[in-house]
Amino acid sequence: MRYLPHTNEDVAEMLQVVGAANLDDLFSSIPEDCRFKGELDLPPAMTEWEVGDHMTDLAGRMASPPEYRVFVGAGSYRHFIPSSVPYLLSRSEVSTAYTPYQPEISQGTLQAIFEYQTLTARLLGMEVANASMYDGASALAEALLMAIRIARGKKTAVAVSKLIHPHYRQVVRTYFEPIGYEIVELPYLPDGSTDLSGLDNIEGLAAVALQSPNFFGCIEDVQAASDKAHDLKALSVASFTEPMAYGMFKSPGSQGADIACGEGQSMGIPQSFGGPGLGMFASRNKYVRNMPGRLIGQTTDRDGQRGFVLTLATREQHIRRERATSNICSNQGLCATMSTMYMASLGGTGLRALSRLNRDKAEYLKSALNKAGFQTPFTRPGFNEFVVAFPKGFEATYKKLVDRKIVAGIPLECHYPELADHYLLCATETHSKADMDALVKEVTS
């Protein structure tokens, strides 16, 4: 039975208010060839119990480790998650992602966010972190908008490395192009790092954005980019998709970055076939009033007891729209809590050990492929993923490997046309030596 909350009279009244003759007029801005016409080809209706059985059947068909050996990273990484994380997250005190609109009576939620901010700031080497963004892509776009706000309209151009995740760059374009801000894409060098030589020729430069490890898995010289940006009176923005790397490599803040932002999925959040994720965002304290999102602070009440307060809120729900600096209504609070539990469970020592293990696994697989005769074109130090040049026509072999339940990375040609027959492979602590040896054996057979 269909449930429609609005009567025909309600619909007619609303259409009259917006000046539309019928429901089709509401979609007139959508091109004809993008509209679906006709009836949806849906199966017959099922009872609640039949739907449950159907979903269970679909779930059983999903291809996932350990049945498949998947060597794919590219912004979403499989890591082991301590059992303490799902147990604590299941407790009713924390199992909500809802925004605390009456914050001071939500002390448990505020404390969890405060702990998240503290651990995020330490991980990224920054002075202040917000209460999380929607995801890594929107965090980067918001960071670049923040840089333009800090420039107070005097600068409206940003330089974005071509080695930032392609989806992140697309989101930045979606944010920037309608409002006329300029995006200059920085090319990459043969060693797999960003070419900064063209920065001097950009007028009105507000920010320089790099990703490290970048999309090819290479470690960028964030310090050099920060120094160059500051020489040009611009901000340095460090993006990332794999914060696990900062367990062994220098943090963005220690390399001069003014804003650090990216995806926190690898910090204790399952891949879940693409989401949800977590946007991490931190900056220098002097820029805090231009930071999007919310900030939780620690204080004491009149009895001297520790308490937590909503110190800064820059969303439309809290302040005038024209002064708002954040337009995303979800803060991924539950994911932020999950990542807090993960970081606290590992601790600094555990994170360093796990980071080294990730680096070592990838280096082992890269070395094995090199010995088998395959080229890895980029020479920069890397973390847990790298690019391999396979022989021309590898697509057929790739499909055969998938049939054998091995996914040998992702092809890069769709994002980088010049890299035909190049694949991005990833290895984390979840890949055994036997898994990696099996991959090498299959691609050489």
List, for residues 296-353, the tens digit of each pLDDT value. Answer: 899 998 999 999 988 887 665 566 666 666 656 555 788 999 999 999 999 999 999 9
| Kind and range of the H or E run holding 87 | helix 84-89
Q: In the structure encoding, which two tokens stand for residue 209, read together?
A: 């954005």
Instruction: Write out pLDDT tens, residues 268-306.
Output: 999 988 888 899 999 999 999 899 888 889 999 899 999
Length of the chain: 445
Q: In the structure encoding, which two tokens stand for residue 382, read together?
A: 């890397």
Q: Cα(61)–Cα(72) distance, rounded to whole angstroms? A: 20
Q: What is the pLDDT of residue 326?
A: 62
**For the chain, which residues score pLDDT lower than 50?**
1
Q: In the structure encoding, which two tokens stand for residue 93, read together?
A: 């005190």
Domain boundaries, the chain: 8-50, 69-81+347-444, 84-343
Neighbours of 289 (CB within 10 A): 12
Pairing of strands 385-389, 422-426: antiparallel
Neighbours of 408 (CB within 10 A): 22
Contact 131, 109 (CB under 8 A): no
Q: What is the pLDDT of residue 1?
A: 42
Q: What is the pLDDT of residue 321?
A: 62
Q: What is the dihedral of CA 135, 311, 255, 427, to 10 degrees?
A: -30
- First and final CA of the chain: distance in angstroms? 56
Q: Which amino acid, residue 346?
A: L
Question: CA distances (Å), 426 to each of 217, 242, 381, 409, in order?
Answer: 9, 11, 14, 7
Class level of CATH domain 84-343: alpha beta
| Kind and range of the H or E run holding 191 | none
Contact 139, 262 (CB under 8 A): yes
Provide the CATH topology of domain 69-81+347-444.
Answer: Aspartate Aminotransferase, domain 1 (3.90.1150)
pTM: 0.86
Neighbours of 330 (CB within 10 A): 16
